[in-house]
Amino acid sequence: DTEVTQTPKHLVMGMTNKKSLKCEQHMGHRAMYWYKQKAKKPPELMFVYSYEKLSINESVPSRFSPECPNSSLLNLHLHALQPEDSALYLCASSQGDSQETQYFGPGTRLLVL
């Protein structure tokens, strides 16, 4: 299984809502990532988990809260988002740490109203 899955595919939420994005991989990878991608822009790294511990937080606002319950799962909890947070949120995993080949999921398209 060389797939990274993400749910939901699409999400619409209001600025007062709380929602979560989920990511799962069963490749035995020990590093997992969250990226944010705006239209016609490259992916921007948000968080890196290495061996289930948060290793990199790229100065992301606290309204985004990552969680890694185990080595196969990665969540991104969303609260009090702003309309400018609307984007494609991508999850990725890699065998080891940050520089290894990353496998990306299809993303969650988020719209904040």
Partner 1 sequence: LAKTTQPISMDSYEGQEVNITCSHNNIATNDYITWYQQFPSQGPRFIIQGYKTKVTNEVASLFIPADRKSSTLSLPRVSLSDTAVYYCLVGDPRGGNTPLVFGKGTRLSVIA
Query: In angstroms, rounded to a whole number, what is the distance separating the alpha carbons of residues 6 and 16?
Result: 23
Q: x/- string (CB under 8 A) for partner 1, residues 43-62?
A: xxx--x-x----xx------
Please identify, among the stretches 12-20, 63-71, 78-86, 88-96, the one whose residues bind partner 1 according to the rule CB under 8 A: 88-96
**Which of 20, 18, 24, 49 lies closest to 34 in space, CA to CA?**
49
Q: Which residues bind partner 1 (CB under 8 A)?
A: 4, 33, 41-45, 48, 50, 55-56, 88, 90-92, 96-107, 109
